[in-house]
Structure 1
């Protein structure tokens, strides 16, 4: 859909909540769902991060298509699907840094949930903060505006604006104000008849958090 390079880290939005992140020879995919066909070999994943079980985020055919044979996949602990190879079940609060760093990438597993809807109950999904090169990237997963965001730091925030069981444009703007990233990239729109408007989100952030650069991919 679109891409940007920040501090030598390549970030591409593949649609909906899917992103590919590249640094040097390392490739990370988050919630692969919409993929090019054919998928270039250089875009195959060394690390796959799955936020929750819903099909648009945990799509078995896309995961099989994108993963290298030696890829490491992180999945929420209560995911019902079974994965072959190096698949690690994680819960919010896990911090895969230091001795647990995956292929030189530090990963923190953070909360992602809906406060009112059982569709994204707490404990069923997660978000991720990944340290790639000198860049810290937060993928919020499917989440409402939640108080736990107040303790997070990221250079780049990937935030849902869809408004159906996730934040809408106004709530994502509040999240941006809490997080104070250098760059925020909206996601989780453009499918399922979502009426979310990334340009509206950009206008709100420009008004309320003008120091943050909104990049629409």
Structure 2
């Protein structure tokens, strides 16, 4: 399985001949190296409805008829936009042809703002456990630190955890380091930082705080094999 990081919370997973994008915020993301015109995802997984996470989902999904998996209220809205969307909810899991998706809790908010300014309720924000090829990835989504991260770690043998460190909208580096201690992944990767002025962070400082797990600060576009 090959993982790559593309700025903000955008993660690409390539496994079993399939390409999966998580939270594909491309247009408007000054950090990303991806181009909507050239990306060909087989599936898109969404943690919540904020525009900087839904991003270019509709255009990408329509281009290759990619399946979109999202919290159910967000999936219902995306379905109304002509997308093949599957709605799931916290605690639920399903085995797709590209891997198994399970939604976990996250503590945040979740709404989508349309071009006309309408605000669409996006359901509960979530984290994602993705399993394929005997490996498990945890994308925490946008969240604060919460105690049940320990339960997520105990119930799952997590190979790589993507955790937000930006502060202001999510947990900051200190809380994120504590979260890694609860989750106990083999590898932790910081995400959701530096995109906007309020979330500027030094990921190397986060790395210094983490005990008991390897931290890989992934440069934009770099890959990690597991």
Pick the TM interval, shorter chain: 0.7 to 0.9
1:216 maps to which residue?
Answer: 217
Matches of 1:133 and 1:202, distance apart in 2: 28
Matches of 1:104 and 1:81, distance apart in 2: 23
Within the candidate set 46, 51, 54, 1:50 is matched to 46
Of the structure 1 ranges 189-198 and 81-90, higher mean CA displacement relative to structure 2 is found in 81-90
Which one scores higher on RCO, CA 8 angstroms, separation ≥ 6?
A: 2
The answer to whether 1:109 aligns with 2:103 is: yes
2:57 maps to which residue?
Answer: 63
Contact preservation (8 Å) 2:166, 2:192:
yes
User: What is the root-mean-square deviation of aligned Cα atoms in Å?
Assistant: 2.2
2:181 maps to which residue?
Answer: 177
The answer to whether 1:203 aligns with 2:208 is: yes
1:4 maps to which residue?
Answer: none
For structure 1, the residue ranges without an aligned partner over 5 or more in a row are: 1-8
Of the structure 1 ranges 47-56 and 67-76, higher mean CA displacement relative to structure 2 is found in 67-76
Contact preservation (8 Å) 1:113, 1:123:
no
Task: Give the total of aligned pairs.
Answer: 194
Matches of 2:176 and 2:71, distance apart in 1: 23
Once the 2 structures are TM-superposed, how far is the Cα of residue 21 of structure 1 from its aligned partner?
0.5
The answer to whether 1:17 aligns with 2:9 is: yes
TM-score for both structures, normalised by structure 1: 0.82
- Which residues in structure 2 correspond to 1:135-214 (within 5 Å)? 135-152=135-152, 153=156, 154-193=158-197, 194-205=199-210, 209=211, 211-214=212-215
Matches of 2:44 and 2:110, distance apart in 1: 23
Contact preservation (8 Å) 2:36, 2:60:
no
The 1:45/1:177 distance shift into structure 2, 3 A limit, reads same
Contact preservation (8 Å) 1:119, 1:165:
no
2:70 maps to which residue?
Answer: 75
Matches of 1:24 and 1:74, distance apart in 2: 18
Contact preservation (8 Å) 2:107, 2:142:
yes
Deviations 1:143-197 (A, max 9, x none): 0111221111311100000111211001011110011111000000111112222
1:124 maps to which residue?
Answer: 124
1:37 maps to which residue?
Answer: 35
Classify the secondary structure of the residue corresponding to 2:144. Answer: coil
For structure 2, the residue ranges without an aligned partner over 5 or more in a row are: 27-32, 112-121, 219-226
